Amino acid sequence: MKTVFRTTILMLLAALFAAYHVVLALTSLNRVADTRFVVVALALYVAAMAASLSGTKRLRLELVVALFNLAVAIAVPLLVTSQLDPADATNGAYSTWYVGAIGMLLAVTAARSRVPYAWMGMAFLIFHIVVWAGPAALVPIGITGALAWTAAATAISRALENARRERITYATAERGAAQWKAAQDARLVERRDRLQQTSGRTLPMLYRIVDSAGRLTSRERDECRYLEQAMRDEIRGRMLLNDAVRDVVMDQRRAGSTVTLLDEGGLDELPTPQLERVRDALAESLRPLSPGKIVIRTAGERSPHAVTVVALEQKDESASLLGDDDSDDSVQAFIQIPRDPQTAASVGSK
């Protein structure tokens, strides 16, 4: 808000200076041979100033307006001096109002980040005065004031540009720091949640091991192996897991299945509600499977599916002992869970 207020004040001051130059031009019409040329020059000047002082939402002046200002800086001196006596250049007459006017126009052009165009216009103005009235007329005609305004506007433009770049740099660094902190906080929350999940499942067994001094039944030993595999799931299959998936996977292992979960990053960008629907669909797809070898893997980010499940039937050990080479594991089910289980059904084959 303060920046907008300061910009508005500066634009109003520039408009007042422009109006002052228009008044000077009108009071000096009696010194020109043909007032029509001066009126055209005034119209061009007013149009250029109006275009330069509008559209202040962006500091940088539109390229079309900058080119128009440069054209006006060339046309106005030619129009005015074509009807003036060069003697007016040194007698302090207001008929040379165009020098201050063009200086103000070029200053606004430079202040709005079009510095090269402003200095091209200033170079032509100096060249034209030298050709028209001689080098001695430069100071009396007021070129020093025009140069000072353009130089000051250039310095302001450079300062604003540097400030803008620094602001962008700081904003980028701030966003980066915020994202890093958010990522760290997310990792911390994830670690805490997974620790709670793991401890909630393993603590009873750990207490049992302590109470029995390590003397466990075969069933309890099997349960320890299942819990150890569940701990690995928390690391290798982190985005695939919710309570429903954990329970179904544990039931499959207790039934004799070998279950492998591999999260390869395909679910990281899914919104939480959609991710939960994928997990619930995964849990439902695992329930009816017979004991065997089950591999659960996330699909690529560009895949229409989120998770792929391959279930192999258990190998017939008796056939293997008899030397039957055709007893390799066969596919029990191939299941693909779409990214949005509400709009598509998982595809399975047996």
Helix-helix angle 115-133:63-81, to 10 degrees: 10
Q: Are residues 130 and 267 in the same domain?
A: no
The beta strands (E) that lie in the chain are given as 258-262, 292-298, 305-313, 331-338
Q: Are residues 259 and 137 in the same domain?
A: no
314 DSSP 8-state letter:
P
Contact 329, 310 (CB under 8 A): no
**Residue 221 located in a structural domain:** no
Which of 145, 171, 197 represents a domain boundary (last residue)? 171
Contact 320, 327 (CB under 8 A): yes
Q: Are residues 125 and 261 in the same domain?
A: no
**Residue 81 located in a structural domain:** yes
Q: Are residues 7 and 108 in the same domain?
A: yes
Residue 181: the pLDDT is 84
Q: Are residues 137 and 262 in the same domain?
A: no
Residue 152: the pLDDT is 92
Which of 171, 189, 223 represents a domain boundary (last residue)? 171
Residue 91: the pLDDT is 67
Among 17, 19, 44, 46, residue whose Cα is nearest residue 153? 17
Q: Where are the alpha helices (DSSP H) in the chain?
A: 2-27, 35-53, 63-81, 97-111, 115-133, 143-211, 218-236, 243-254, 272-286, 317-321
Q: Which domain holds residue 116?
A: 2-171
Residue 185: the pLDDT is 77
Q: Are residues 41 and 139 in the same domain?
A: yes
Tokens linked to 118: 């402003």
Contact 140, 90 (CB under 8 A): yes
Residue 272: the pLDDT is 83
Residue 295, classed as helix, strand or coil, is strand
Q: Are residues 22 and 132 in the same domain?
A: yes
pLDDT in tens, the chain (350 residues): 455 555 667 678 888 888 888 888 888 888 888 899 999 999 999 999 999 988 767 788 999 999 999 999 999 999 999 888 887 666 666 788 899 999 999 999 998 889 999 999 999 999 999 999 888 888 888 899 899 999 999 998 898 888 888 888 888 888 888 888 887 776 777 677 766 766 666 777 677 777 777 787 888 787 788 888 888 888 888 788 888 998 899 899 888 888 999 988 878 778 888 889 999 999 999 999 988 999 999 988 778 888 999 999 876 554 444 445 444 568 888 999 988 766 554 444 44
Domain count, the chain: 2
Q: Are residues 147 and 268 in the same domain?
A: no
**Residue 348 located in a structural domain:** no
Place of tokens 């031009």: 25
Tokens linked to 42: 């005034």
Among 127, 119, 128, residue whose Cα is nearest residue 78? 128
**Residue 177 located in a structural domain:** no
**Residue 244 located in a structural domain:** yes
Residue 316 has a CB neighbour count (10 Å cut-off) of 14
Q: Are residues 161 and 74 in the same domain?
A: yes
What residues contact residue 117 under an 8 Å CB cut-off, 6+ apart? 66, 67, 69, 70, 109
Q: Are residues 19 and 142 in the same domain?
A: yes
pTM: 0.54
Length of the chain: 350
Q: Are residues 254 and 152 in the same domain?
A: no
**Residue 213 located in a structural domain:** no
Among 100, 170, 87, 98, residue whose Cα is nearest residue 134? 87
Residue 285: the pLDDT is 92
Amino acid present at 326: D
Q: Are residues 17 and 147 in the same domain?
A: yes
Bridge partners of residue 82, in order along the sequence: none
